Amino acid sequence: MTTDQIKIMEIATRLVDYDHVSGMVTWKKRDGDSGPIKAWNSRCSGKQCGSVNTYGHIRIDIKNSGERLRIYAHRLAFFMFHGRLPQGDIDHINGNPADNRIENLRDVPHSVNLRNRFMQSNNTSGITGVSWFKRKSKWRAGAKINGKIFHLGYFHDKNEAHQAVLAFRLKNGFTDRHGKDRNPSA
């Protein structure tokens, strides 16, 4: 991690508060009695920071000396609670990227974070790791760890392919949530 990232986090900690129980990041009251500062305090002080991006993460924009700094609330929360930058990815344990309670955040290598992903939106089989292989007219089972693809076999039955994927995941530290539908009722 760079010293620039630490400086950005330190700037942010002077401007916001973090409640590790609720996961909320809120704007601090600013000092001064000028009109713009009073207006800012009445409009923003004590209110939740940021906006939700397309992936569901809360993103906070801060202006500092005319420069716009963009910070993700989960990384800022981790920094404010632990006093250091994360060494890897911040994984939202429950899968909700807007839930920044400290108990829901863990610092993990990227490869571990990938083992806790929901099913991707472009999945056509409905089962992560299972796809139809037209050339053989069979279901193909596979998985990926640290960029290495593991071929688990071809199957006549989609459920057999699914069982092969589940057994592989169990042996290789994937979470129960991995590959599940993000919106099962949709």
> Is the pLDDT at 185 greater than 80, yes or no?
no
- If pLDDT is split at 50, 70 and 90, which confidence band does 177 have? confident
Contact 177, 116 (CB under 8 A): yes
Q: Would you report the helix, strand and coil content of the chain in percent, each value rounded to 5?
A: 30, 25, 40
Region 52-80: mean pLDDT is 92
Helix (H) or strand (E) holding 16: strand 16-18
Q: Nearest to residue 75, comparing CAs of 48, 57, 52?
A: 57
**Burial environment of residue 183 by CB neighbours within 10 A (0 to 12, 13 to 18, 19 or more):** exposed
- Rounded Cα distance between 75 and 105, Å, is 9
Give the chain's domains with CATH numbers.
Answer: 3-108 (3.90.75.20), 118-171 (3.30.730)
Residues near 94 by Cβ (< 8 Å), separated by ≥ 6?
Answer: 104
- Please name the residue that has the structure tokens 């279901």: 139
Residue owning tokens 């569901």: 56
Average pLDDT, the chain: 89
> pLDDT (tens digit, 9 = 90+) per residue, 72-108?
999 999 999 999 999 999 999 888 999 999 999 999 9
pLDDT tens sequence across 131-141:
999 999 999 99
**At 183, is the pLDDT very low, low, confident or very high (cuts 50, 70, 90)?**
low
Q: Which residue has the tokens 């989960």?
A: 74
pLDDT of 161 > 70? The answer is yes
Cα Rg of the chain, angstroms: 21
The answer, yes or no, to whether residue 121 has pLDDT greater than 70, is yes
How many other CB atoms are there within 10 angstroms of residue 14's CB atom? 9
Output the pTM of the full model: 0.77
Percentage of the chain beyond pLDDT 90 is 60
